[in-house]
Amino acid sequence: MTITNRPPGRTERPGDGDRPARRDRTHWLYLAVIAAVAAGIAVGLLAPGFAVELKPVGEAFVSLVKMMISPVIFCTIVLGIGSVRRAAQVGKVGGLALGYFIAMSTVALAIGLVVGNLISPGSSLHLTKAASSAGTKAAEDAGSGGLVDFLHEMIPSTLVSSLTSGQVLQTLVVALLVGFALQALGDAGEPVLRGVASVQRVVFTVLAMVMWLAPVGAFGAMAAVVGATGVDALTSLAVIMLAFYATCLVFVVGVLGTLLRLATGVGILGLLRYLAREFLLIVSTSSSETALPRLIAKMEHLGVEKPVVGIVVPTGYSFNLDGTAIYLTMSALFVAQAVGTPLSVGQQIGLLLFMIIASKGAAGVTGAGLATLAGGLQSHRPDLVDGVGLIVGIDRFMSEARAVTNFAGNAVATVLIGVWTGQADRARMTQVLAGTLPFDESSVEDHEGGTSPAPPAGNSSRKTLVDAG
């Protein structure tokens, strides 16, 4: 029996193998969250006293997400560093791609911070005085220890205690050490990497199970917030959603579009139009990975050589997560503002540095973005973690924008790196984008059948539990 890598949600054809086809039921989760949010709003408006009492329901779901923070961050970072090693082995293309991914993720994170500070969408909520006072005390305690105490707190008592102590920075440090140790071992570290990949598969399966409780958590959190603040909560949530959509649009058209035009002469609108069918597929599934085989085929048809496409596209799906980066920083600021204890400039910079590392691998798995957001807050302001429940209600509404932005970023990256390395046919690009060389849909079958380049190490375990990144 031949085993091939298939995109999530794809129905198997006869001859694909002996395993039965599995239906993608995540759209039911999406609909359930929408219904739960609507019910929570209704309860909050009609029975505010009762709705406030539902706050523990939302907090319980957040606690389940918190439970998954350390294992998710550990597995994704260890396997992410493993994929860096493999990508770096291919030389110029891999090194350039990784440098570009880190730079653009940093830019996206910074843009999210700037927009979040400018619009301050959560500043009008001030959910509870207790939360505000607790946050102030936590901020004072965090700042009273000094740099030396902060560095000491990053060092766990044992190598494995970071996974059980709830100290996210300790988990990050251990994950980096293990990842670089496996790098140094080379081929001898491959069995350990495969073992971590197996653990990651279990962790993500548990996380996917937890996310099926998202409707319950969204109902409790939304009802409690609306019951406590009334229409102000709906206004603030609408503002953060619209601001996120607008920021993603500005990033894709303004930042990526300008870079693409200056570096290659290709217009961003023409490239987006060429990928229109893929964007429709992403919006309908809330997942950029469903369009992975089509992106590979279309980039090759566009004139980018196969070695570049085979390196940049799969690696970008783990490391080039522009939409997720914007989401993480804007959501963190929103939560801090909502409880009346905004992040200081120093905390925002620290959060940005944390997210640069932790966001690698945050896309592609149901709930991983939410867990990474909770992890960032846990590492800098533990008093704010419970506020993640505010985001649960609107997270699914933001998923499409995240997925579309991530996808557009990877398409632009493929074109840029193909041109920069001299492995792209610019004349063919002009013809394809002008419509004179239409794409042959039958060519996608080759890529869906398993002949496309394999993704980097650590990604194979994420093929069946994907969402918007």
DSSP-derived 3-state class of residue 155: coil
**Cα angle for residues 415, 360, 115 (degrees, 5° grid):** 80
pLDDT, greater one: 370 or 284: 370
Q: pLDDT (tens digit, 9 = 90+) per residue, 40-67?
A: 888 888 888 888 888 788 778 777 877 7
**Cα angle for residues 450, 455, 456 (degrees, 5° grid):** 155
Q: pLDDT (tens digit, 9 = 90+) per residue, 104-131?
A: 988 998 898 888 888 877 666 655 543 3
pLDDT for the residue numbered 18: 46
- Grade residue 329 by pLDDT with cuts at 50, 70 and 90: confident
Average pLDDT over residues 283-299: 74
Q: In terms of residues, how long is the chain?
A: 469
Alpha helices in 145-230 (DSSP H): 146-153, 162-165, 168-185, 190-211, 214-229
pLDDT for the residue numbered 414: 93
Question: Which positions ≥6 away from 257 have C-beta within 8 Å?
Answer: 267, 268, 269
pLDDT beyond 70 at 451: no
Token pair 């690698």 in the structure block, residue: 360
Q: What is the mean pLDDT of the chain?
A: 74
- Given a contact cutoff of 8 angstroms between Cβ atoms, the answer to whether 225 and 44 are in contact is yes
Question: Which positions ≥6 away from 375 have C-beta within 8 Å?
Answer: 69, 70, 72, 73, 168, 354, 358
Of 367, 312, 409, give the one whose Cα is nearest residue 109.
409
pLDDT for the residue numbered 100: 92
Model-level pTM? 0.66
DSSP-derived 3-state class of residue 364: coil
- Given a contact cutoff of 8 angstroms between Cβ atoms, the answer to whether 10 and 448 are in contact is yes
Q: Domains in the chain and their CATH numbers?
A: 26-462 (1.10.3860)
Tokens (6 digits) for 101: 């991914």
Average pLDDT over residues 256-263: 94
pLDDT beyond 90 at 272: yes
- Given a contact cutoff of 8 angstroms between Cβ atoms, the answer to whether 415 and 266 are in contact is yes
pLDDT beyond 90 at 332: no
- Grade residue 235 by pLDDT with cuts at 50, 70 and 90: confident
pLDDT, greater one: 443 or 441: 441
> What are the C-alpha distances in Å from 51 to residues 220, 223, 334, 337, 458?
8, 5, 22, 22, 42
Tokens (6 digits) for 403: 């997925």
What's the CA gap between 82 and 190, in Å, rounded? 9
Of 326, 461, 362, 286, give the one whose Cα is nearest residue 65.
362
Average pLDDT over residues 296-312: 86
Q: What is the CA 191 to chain-centroid distance, rounded?
A: 27
Pick from 146-155, 180-189, 262-271: least confident: 146-155
Q: pLDDT (tens digit, 9 = 90+) per residue, 379-427?
A: 777 777 777 777 776 776 787 788 899 899 999 999 999 999 888 888 9
- Given a contact cutoff of 8 angstroms between Cβ atoms, the answer to whether 156 and 165 are in contact is yes
Q: Which helix (H) or strand (E) holds 65?
A: helix 55-67
What's the CA gap between 382 and 380, in Å, rounded? 6
Cβ count within 10 A of residue 120: 14
Per-residue DSSP letter, 422: T
- Grade residue 258 by pLDDT with cuts at 50, 70 and 90: very high
Average pLDDT over residues 322-329: 86
Of 294, 267, 266, give the one whose Cα is nearest residue 278.
294
Per-residue DSSP letter, 7: -
pLDDT beyond 80 at 363: no
Per-residue burial over 335-370, b = 16 or more CB atoms within 10 Å of its CB, e = otherwise: bbbbbbbbbeeebbebbbebbebbbbbbbbbbbbbb
pLDDT for the residue numbered 466: 36
Of 210, 170, 172, 221, give the one whose Cα is nearest residue 67.
210
Q: pLDDT (tens digit, 9 = 90+) per residue, 8-32?
A: 434 343 444 444 444 556 567 767 8
pLDDT for the residue numbered 257: 94
